[in-house]
C-alpha cells in the first residue's frame, strides 16, 4: 500500500512549476452546491456572502477538500463581482460589500492552504453586466475590482472560470494577466462550443492568445462530456501550434441528456439532481481518463464533495506516490468491507465488484433521462437582461406562462 501523506506544510512551489514538472495537480470541489445543502448559500443568486456571514462553514469545507487531496484551494469568490452581488434584489453589495466578501474569501483559503501543500487561486466568473450587453470597459471593471483584492492578499495564481461566452472569458483573462501571476481559464461549455457557437478548439486558442497558461472546462456537464470537450480544446491548440496545460473540473452529476446550455436546462436543476450523483468509483474512472488524455489539473465543480476529490487522489496515487490523509479510513476499492459482519457484504470487498456495478436509482416510476428546457436564450435576449431590483410578480407570471407543466 502506498504511504499516506499527512496534511502538512511543504516547500511551496507555484502552479506552473508543478505542471511544467509533469506533476498532477488536484483541484477542489463545488462550494455553492455543497454549502447550499448545508444551509449557508441561497440557491438562485448562488453568491458567496458565507465568507463573511459563516466563515466557519467555508473554512471547514476547504479543510475537508485539503484533507481529501486538493493541491489548489480556490477562493470562494464565485459570482462575487459587484454587479452580481447587487443583482435582482441581492443585499450583499450594499450591506456587506464586494470588497469584504472577496477579502474574507482570500483570508479563509490562505489560512487553510497554509495547513498543507496547497496553493490559493483567486477566481472570477461570468457577470450579469456581460449578459446585459454592457460594454467591454464596464465588464472588465468588475473583474478589476476583484483582482485588486487578490493582489492585496497575494493569491498564488488566478482562475477565470465558468464562462459561457469566450468573448467575456478573454476579457477576464486580459484583466487577470495584468497581475503578472499565472492565469488559468475554464469555460462551462460542452462539445458544441460556447453560446455564440465558437468551437471548443477555437475557445482554447483565444484564451491562450489572451494570456492563459492553463485552459479547460468546468461545471455544466458531466465528466465524460467535459473530457470530450477538453479533447477538442487540445486538438484546437495543437492545430494552432500553441501550448498550454489542460484543466478539467466537471459536475459530479450524470448529464448525458443535457443540451448546449448544460445541466441548468435540466428540469431537475437545482433541487432534484441527487439521483444523478456520480459514485466515487465513477470519479476514479474520470480521473484515469483525464490523466490518459494529458490533463494534469484535475478537480471538480458542482456536486463534487470531498469524497469525490479523494477518489481522484486515490486513482492517481500510483503516479503521485502517495495517498491523501482522508484515505486513512477508506480502503482501496472497498477492501475495508472485509471487516463487515454480513458475509454478502464482505464479498463486495474487491475492485471487480465496484468497478462493474450498475447502481439502481430505486425510482421505478421515474425516467432515466429528462427533456432539457432549451429556451435558447443567450446574451442580448430580453429574458437575460439583468436588473438591480428584485424580480417582480409580473415578471414571474410572464415566465410561468412560458413554462407550462
Q: What is the 3-state secondary structure (H, E, C) of 254-313?
A: CCCCCECCEHHHCCCCCCCCHHHECCHHHHHHHHHHHHHHCCCEECCCCCCCHHHHHHHH
CA–CA distance, 328 with 16 (Å, rounded to integer): 30
Q: What is the pLDDT of residue 7?
A: 65
Could you report the per-residue pLDDT of 24-73, keeping only the tens digit for each?
999 999 999 999 999 999 999 999 999 999 999 999 999 999 999 999 99
Is a pLDDT exceeding 80 seen at residue 380? no
Burial group, residue 358, by CB count within 10 angstroms (0-12, 13-18, 19+): exposed
Q: Give the pLDDT confidence score for residue 404 in this predicted structure.
A: 62
Q: Is 138 helix (H, G, I), strand (E, B) or coil?
A: helix
Amino acid 135: pLDDT: 95
pLDDT in tens, 145-197: 999 999 999 999 999 999 999 999 999 999 999 999 999 999 999 999 999 99
- What pLDDT, on the 0 to 100 scale, is given for residue 377? 79
Model pLDDT for residues 93-138, shown as the tens digit of each residue? 999 999 999 999 999 999 999 999 999 999 999 999 999 999 999 9
Q: Is 55 helix (H, G, I), strand (E, B) or coil?
A: helix
Please name the residue that has the C-alpha cell 432534484.
272
3-12, 284-293, 343-352, 357-366: least confident range: 3-12
DSSP states of 167-230 = HHHHHHHHHHHTTSS-EEEEE--BTTBSTT---HHHHHHHHHHHT-SEEEEESSS-HHHHHHHH
Q: 209 CB contacts (<8 Å, ≥6 apart)?
A: 242
pLDDT at 383 over 80: no
pLDDT of residue 405: 52
Q: What is the mean pLDDT of residues 222-243?
A: 98
CA atoms of 217 and 227, how far apart (whole Å): 9
Helices 136-152, 166-177: crossing angle, 10 deg rounding? 40
**Local confidence band at 10 (pLDDT 50, 70, 90 cut-offs):** low
How confident is residue 9, by pLDDT bands cut at 50, 70 and 90? low
CB 181 within 8 A of CB 209: no
d(CA 1, CA 365): 44
Amino acid at each position: 500500500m502506498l504511504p499516506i501523506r499527512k496534511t502538512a506544510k511543504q516547500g511551496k512551489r507555484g502552479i506552473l512549476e508543478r505542471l511544467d514538472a509533469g506533476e498532477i495537480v488536484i483541484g477542489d470541489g463545488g462550494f455553492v452546491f455543497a454549502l447550499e445543502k448545508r444551509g449557508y448559500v441561497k440557491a438562485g443568486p448562488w453568491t458567496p456572502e458565507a465568507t463573511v456571514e459563516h466563515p466557519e462553514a467555508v473554512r471547514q469545507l476547504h479543510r475537508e477538500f485539503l484533507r481529501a487531496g486538493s493541491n489548489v484551494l480556490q477562493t470562494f469568490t464565485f459570482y462575487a463581482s459587484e454587479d452580481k452581488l447587487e443583482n435582482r434584489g441581492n443585499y450583499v453589495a450594499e450591506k456587506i460589500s464586494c470588497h469584504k466578501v472577496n477579502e474574507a474569501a482570500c483570508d479563509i483559503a490562505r489560512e487553510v492552504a497554509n495547513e498543507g501543500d496547497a496553493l490559493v487561486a483567486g477566481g472570477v466568473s461570468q457577470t450579469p453586466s456581460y449578459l446585459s450587453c454592457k460594454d467591454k470597459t464596464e465588464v472588465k471593471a468588475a473583474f478589476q475590482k476583484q483582482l485588486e483584492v487578490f493582489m492585496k492578499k497575494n493569491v498564488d495564481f488566478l482562475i477565470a472560470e465558468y464562462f459561457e461566452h469566450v468573448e467575456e472569458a478573454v476579457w477576464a483573462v486580459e484583466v487577470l494577466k495584468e497581475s503578472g501571476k499565472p492565469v488559468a481559464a475554464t469555460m462551462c461549455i460542452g462539445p458544441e462550443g460556447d453560446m455564440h457557437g465558437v468551437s471548443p478548439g477555437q475557445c482554447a486558442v483565444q484564451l491562450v492568445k489572451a494570456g492563459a497558461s492553463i485552459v479547460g472546462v468546468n461545471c455544466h456537464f458531466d465528466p465524460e462530456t467535459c473530457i470530450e470537450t477538453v479533447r477538442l480544446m487540445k486538438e484546437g491548440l495543437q492545430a494552432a501550434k500553441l501550448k498550454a496545460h489542460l484543466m478539467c473540473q466537471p459536475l459530479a452529476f450524470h448529464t448525458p441528456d443535457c443540451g448546449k446550455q448544460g445541466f441548468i436546462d435540466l428540469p431537475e436543476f437545482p433541487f432534484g439532481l441527487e439521483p444523478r450523483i456520480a459514485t466515487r468509483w465513477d470519479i476514479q474512472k474520470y480521473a484515469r481518463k483525464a490523466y490518459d488524455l494529458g490533463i494534469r489539473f484535475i478537480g471538480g465543480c458542482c456536486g463534487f464533495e470531498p469524497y469525490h476529490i479523494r477518489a481522484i487522489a486515490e486513482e492517481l496515487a500510483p503516479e503521485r506516490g502517495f495517498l491523501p490523509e482522508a484515505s486513512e479510513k477508506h480502503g482501496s476499492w472497498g477492501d475495508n468491507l472485509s471487516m463487515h459482519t454480513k458475509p454478502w457484504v464482505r464479498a463486495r470487498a474487491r475492485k471487480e465488484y465496484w468497478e462493474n456495478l450498475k447502481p439502481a436509482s430505486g425510482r421505478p416510476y421515474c425516467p432515466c433521462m429528462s427533456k432539457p428546457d432549451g429556451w435558447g436564450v443567450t446574451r442580448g435576449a430580453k429574458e437575460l437582461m439583468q436588473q438591480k431590483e428584485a424580480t417582480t410578480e409580473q415578471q414571474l407570471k410572464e415566465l410561468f406562462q412560458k413554462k407550462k407543466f
